[in-house]
Amino acid sequence: MRSTLYAVLWCALVAAAQCSFQKKCSKLARELQVKNATVWFSEFVAAGTNLSFPDTDPSCGQASLVVNVDFCRVAVYVATSSRSGISMEAWLPSDWTGRFLSTGNGGLNGCLSYDDMAYAVELGFSTVGANNGHNGTSGAPFLNNPDVVEDFAWRSVHTNTVVGKQISQAFYHRKHKKSYYLGCSTGGRQGFKSAQSFPEDFDGIVAGAPALDFNNLNSWSGHFYGLTGPVGSPTYLTPEQWNAVHADILAQCDGLDGYVDGILEDPEICQYRPENLICPPGASDTSANSSTCITGTQAGTVRAMFSDLHGSGGALVYPRMQPGSELLGTPYIYYAGTPFSYSADWFRYAVYNDPEWDPATLGPDDYAFSDALNPSDIRTFSGDLSAFRSRGAKILHYHGQMDQIITSAISPRYYDLVARTMGLPSSALDDFYRFFRISGMGHCTGGPGAASIGQGRAAAASLDPDQNVLTALVRWVEKDEAPDTILGTAFSGDGEVVFRRRHCRYPLRNRYTGEGDPQDPDSWECIL
Q: Are 473 and 479 in contact (CB under 8 A)?
A: no
Least spacing, CB of residue 65 vs ligand NAG, in Å: 8
Residue from 332, 489, 310, 510 nearest 404 by CA? 332
For ligand NAG, the closer CB: 16 or 66: 66
For ligand NAG, the closer CB: 26 or 52: 52
Residue from 332, 329, 319, 317 nearest 249 by CA? 329
Contacts 24+ apart (CB under 8 A), 283-291: 287/232, 287/238, 288/238, 289/238, 289/239, 289/240, 290/240, 291/238, 291/240, 291/241, 291/244
Least spacing, CB of residue 45 vs ligand NAG, in Å: 13
Least spacing, CB of residue 81 vs ligand NAG, in Å: 5
Least spacing, CB of residue 288 vs ligand NAG, in Å: 5
| Phi, psi for residue 317 in degrees, rounded to 5 | -90, -50
- Return the number of other C-beta atoms located less than 10 Å from residue 416's C-beta: 15
Report d(CA 160, CA 283) in Å as an integer.
60
For ligand NAG, the closer CB: 288 or 373: 288
- Return the number of other C-beta atoms located less than 10 Å from residue 527's C-beta: 10
- Residue 319, preceding bond cis, omega within 30 degrees? no
Least spacing, CB of residue 162 vs ligand NAG, in Å: 8
Least spacing, CB of residue 82 vs ligand NAG, in Å: 5
Pairing of strands 509-512, 49-52: unpaired
Q: How far is CA 474 from CA 75, 97, 100, 291, in A?
A: 27, 11, 11, 51
Q: How far is CA 91 from CA 170, 249, 442, in A?
A: 13, 46, 29
Helix (H) or strand (E) holding 358: none
For ligand NAG, the closer CB: 80 or 401: 80
For ligand NAG, the closer CB: 20 or 52: 52
Residue 185 a catalytic site member: yes
Instruction: Give the side-chain half-sphere CA count within 13 A for 300.
Output: 10
- Which residues make up the interface to ligand NAG (CB under 6 A)? 35-36, 50, 52, 55-56, 64, 66, 79, 81-82, 87, 131, 134-135, 288-289
Least spacing, CB of residue 366 vs ligand NAG, in Å: 28
For ligand NAG, the closer CB: 114 or 202: 114
For ligand NAG, the closer CB: 36 or 297: 36
User: What are the residue ranges of helices labelled H in 341-408?
Assistant: 341-345, 364-373, 386-390
Report d(CA 308, CA 399) in Å as an integer.
18
**Secondary structure (3-state) at 513:** coil
Catalytic residue among 158, 246, 443, 503: 443
Report the chain's C-alpha Rg in angstroms: 24
- Residue 58, preceding bond cis, omega within 30 degrees? no
For ligand NAG, the closer CB: 135 or 218: 135
Catalytic residue among 113, 185, 291, 343: 185
Least spacing, CB of residue 456 vs ligand NAG, in Å: 18
Residue 443 a catalytic site member: yes
Q: Are 308 and 319 in contact (CB under 8 A)?
A: yes
Catalytic residue among 371, 397, 403, 408: 403
Write out the catalytic residue numbers: 185, 403, 443
